[in-house]
Structure formats: structure tokens, C-alpha cells
Amino acid sequence: MRTLTGLQPSGKQHLGNYFGAMRPAVELQESGEAFYFIADYHAMTSTHDPGELRENVRDLAIDFLACGLDPEKAVFWRQSDVPEVNELAWILSTVCPMGLLERCHSYKDKVARGIAPSHALFAYPVLMAADILLFDSNEVPVGDDQKQHLEVTRDLVIKMNERYGEGTLVMPEPIIREAVAKVPGLDGQKMSKSYNNTLPIFGEEKPLRKMVMKIVTDSTPVEDPKPVEGSVILQLYKLLASDADYQAMVADHQAGGTGYGDFKKRLWEAYWEFFAPMRARRAEIAADPASVDQVLAAGAARARQEAAVVLDRVRATVGLR
């Protein structure tokens, strides 16, 4: 069983990314073959600043390693270190009907958010399909926003196998992480870089503390009971504190007599403590940038070996050899 997923290097990782994507990926590396890559070609659909792209890739690699990705267990590489993926993307695009891409809502959503409507942005799902199919992946864990891209991938497998014969490409199964509750942002909407409401997992103590203390709350007086339903503080605390501490905070909400400032302070402490071991690990890794390059280079070498097998098979099948 081979599990593959890609992460876009698009700025500071936040609690939503950690609980929604990074932690599940780290858990999955314990069972079966885990293939994880940093989708830097994809990031170029929205970033054209070379310095920023490089820095985002490096940050994501360090963050992921600090959060428990184990290069002994998972194959971890940078997408552009395996450029063969572009060849498969081209081959797939020759059987990809325009209508399939025209129906994709992520293209329209991104254009509506101000991202330039380039050919790459339009063809993004084809490259993503190539990422998956180049490794004969069986399972692809993604957030539910990527569901449609997996459907495109599966359609392309059907098209290729119909035209060139069963077994040309392996049909992947999406593992949609609907089970992971959406982590709320500081304003109560879904936590997302696009909403500017994130709590980063790494950063300087003072500004992070300030962010927690600025979480929007209602104006219930200190002595009154506070609403439990829909409380951002409680939802975040649940992820970060022990069950007993969480239950105690719920009880204190219901009893009244405790102000939001106190709850935020407890949330801050739980958050700072939760990420303490990862922060320490991050500092170690960041102090040794060569080790990160080594991990990515070894991962790329391993990934290229696997990719060569599939690409050879596809090239022979379609008549390129």
C-alpha cells in the first residue's frame, strides 16, 4: 500500500495545517509506504518571487521534519527534484478533455481571489494527477478542497487505460480527511492563510501570545456563565490541552466567574507547551541547513527511482519508444 500526498509551500504553517495535514501524515508514515513531497511547481501558479519560493520550500521542509516526519520511514522530496513529473503531465494532458478542467471550481475560486489566470493554474489538476500517478499511488490523503482534483485524476486513469490498455496507470483512492474537524481561526471562520486569521505553529513568543490574547470573544460579564457552543478558545484548547484540562475549562465556562482573559491565558500556555518539543527540534534542524538538503536529496533520489519505473512503462505503452 503506497500513500502519497503533496503539500504546497505557501507561507507559515498554522494550526489548521498541523492538525489537518501534517499530523495525519506523520501518523500514516507508521503504516505502509509514505511518499510526501513539497509541491513547488504548483506553488509557482501563485508565487513568482524566487526568494520567496525558495524560503517557503525550506521552511516547509524544516517544519515538517520538526513536526515528526521521519525520513527513515517516509520518502520526502521536493517536487521539482523529480522533473519527470512534467513529462507524465504532458502525456496525461493529451487525453484530458478541456471540459474536465473547465468544471474545476478551484481554478475559478483562485481567479476570483486575484490569482492570475495562467495556463498553469488551469492545468494544475493535470500536474497533480501526474504527481499521484507517477508513483503508482494507492491512497491519497487530502483535505476536502482537493476532492475534485482526485476525481480528475481518476478520470484520467480511466481515459489512459481505455486508450492504452488496463494496467497502464494505477487507480488511486482519495482519503478525504472530513473526519478532522475544521480548525477555527482567530476570528471564528475556518483557519486559513487566505483569511488572515491563522495561529502559526512556530514563531516568536511575544507576537504569538498577543495573537492568542486578541481572539475575538463576546461581552459576557466576568461573573456570568460563558457560551460553550461555538467558542473558538474552547475548540482550540481541545486540540492542545489534556482532556482533563479541557473539561475543567468547559466547567469554568458554565459556572461563570472566570473572564475571557484567563481562558486565553490558559489557551496560550497549552499552545506554547504543546509545540515546545517541536520548537526545540526545529531550532536544531534550522541550525544545520545542510542536513535538510541531504534529506531532500536522498528523498529525491529514491523518488526518481520509483518514477523511472512508471515513466518507462508509460512511454513504452504510448509509443514514445
* 45-53, 150-158, 191-199, 239-247 -> range binding ligand ADP (CB under 6 A): 191-199
188 binds ligand ADP, rule: CB under 6 A? no
264 is catalytic: no
In whole angstroms, how close is the CB of 7 to ligand ADP at the nearest point?
6
Please pick, among 12, 73, 190, 265, the residue that the annotation labels catalytic: 190
Please pick, among 73, 193, 238, 265, the residue that the annotation labels catalytic: 193
The C-alpha atoms of residue 157 and residue 316 are separated, in whole angstroms, by 16
Interface residue with ligand ADP, options 44, 111, 170, 180 (CB under 6 A): 180
194 binds ligand ADP, rule: CB under 6 A? yes
Residue nearest to ligand TRP (CB): 6
In whole angstroms, how close is the CB of 113 to ligand ADP at the nearest point?
10
Helices (H), 168-257: 205-213, 232-240, 243-255
Q: What is the dihedral of CA 256, 260, 265, 266, to 10 degrees?
A: 40
Number of Cα atoms under 13 Å in the Cβ half of residue 280: 5
Binding footprint of ligand TRP on the chain (CB under 6 A): 4-6, 8, 39, 42, 128, 131-132, 140, 142, 146
* 40-48, 91-99, 185-193, 252-260 -> range binding ligand ADP (CB under 6 A): 185-193
Q: What is the DSSP letter of 12?
A: -
Where in 93-112 is the site for ligand ADP (CB under 6 A)?
Answer: none
User: Look-up: residue for cell 524566487?
Assistant: 50
73 is catalytic: no
CA-to-CA dists, residue 195 to 13, 43, 217, angstroms: 14, 18, 18
DSSP-assigned states of every residue in 108-134: HHHHHTT----HHHHHHHHHHHHHHHT
From residue 8 to residue 47, the character string flagging contacts with ligand ADP as x (rule: CB under 6 A) and all else as - is x-x-----xx-xxx--------------------------
- Give the nearer residue to ligand ADP in terms of CB position, either 190 or 304: 190
Cell of 61: 521542509
Phi, psi of 140 (to 5 degrees): -130, 100
In whole angstroms, how close is the CB of 21 to ligand ADP at the nearest point?
4
Report, in this order, helix, strand and coil percent for the chain, each rounded to 5.
60, 10, 35
73 binds ligand ADP, rule: CB under 6 A? no
- Give the nearer residue to ligand ADP in terms of CB position, either 203 or 259: 203
In whole angstroms, how close is the CB of 117 to ligand ADP at the nearest point?
19
Q: What is the DSSP letter of 190?
A: B
Q: Which of 46, 294, 123 is nearest to 131 (CA)?
A: 123
The C-alpha atoms of residue 253 and residue 256 are separated, in whole angstroms, by 6
* 31-39, 53-61, 81-89, 176-184 -> range binding ligand ADP (CB under 6 A): 176-184
110 is catalytic: yes
In whole angstroms, how close is the CB of 120 to ligand ADP at the nearest point?
17
The C-alpha atoms of residue 314 and residue 47 are separated, in whole angstroms, by 31
Instruction: List residues binding ligand ADP (CB under 6 A).
Output: 8, 10, 16-17, 19-21, 142-143, 180, 182-183, 190-194
Residues designated as active site: 110, 190, 193
